[in-house]
Structure 1
Amino acid sequence: MLEEQQNNPLHGLKLEEMVKELVDFYGWDILDTAMRFNCFHTNPSIASSVKYLRKSEWAREKLEAFYLNRYKRMPRPTEAEREIPPRMRTYAVGITPREPMKLTVESILDSQAKAASSYKAAKAAGRKSRR
């Protein structure tokens, strides 16, 4: 198992350390906008965030995916890999983390608006094809 996890940036990383890294680099406002977790919005603290994330597996996995994709800029998972929790995924030997992605509240909101628009368009196209 250790050999399998050697190329996973989350291996051995404690949840508290991950939250501290993200807060230090991005700040609470960006994490709140990107994640939409109340623990990042109302009186945010490392302790309360870690407590919430330990109780909510879906939220922890969403934060871990954000950490891997935006902060460590690792390759996005394939369709099959999405079924595997981020902590259990591995990367090919030689793939290393890159510089964190620069994010702003505005860039996140733009990205979310584009995703919502694409989703609505795909949903509308799906309704038309069923007729």
Structure 2
Amino acid sequence: MVDESGRNIDAALEKNPIYMGSTEYEMIELFRKINVSRPVALTLACLAKGREISSQSIEVVSGLRQPEVSVAMRYLRENDWIHIREEKKSKGKGRPIKLYKLTVPMDRIVGKIEQEIIAESRHVLQNIERLKNIA
């Protein structure tokens, strides 16, 4: 695969392969503990290093199936957290390969998730207070 500057992306990935290290596994575990879905947690861990990555690479590295990656990407797109770029295949015909990259820092993503959890917790506490007042 070749990027717009003519650089061979496949060769670049061979020199710097994408893999899950202890940091990524810890990140996944922490995301799961705060109820982030497994596909989103794994996909965010794959994208966390800030590199552009194909959905196929995400599948291979994370062990997710294609539909799970699509669901995760939809969530990331809805939150405007990723940039999608299409790359023509260097050989043969077929659909272009989609490449994904985070457009916001991970701390902002975590902050947004934190805000959602706090809002949800407030709502639950309000309902508990209502129940106490009814009883």
Give the TM-score normalised by structure 1.
0.36
Which structure features the higher share of helix residues? 1
Larger radius of gyration: 2
Give the TM-score normalised by structure 2.
0.35
Which structure features the higher share of strand residues? 2
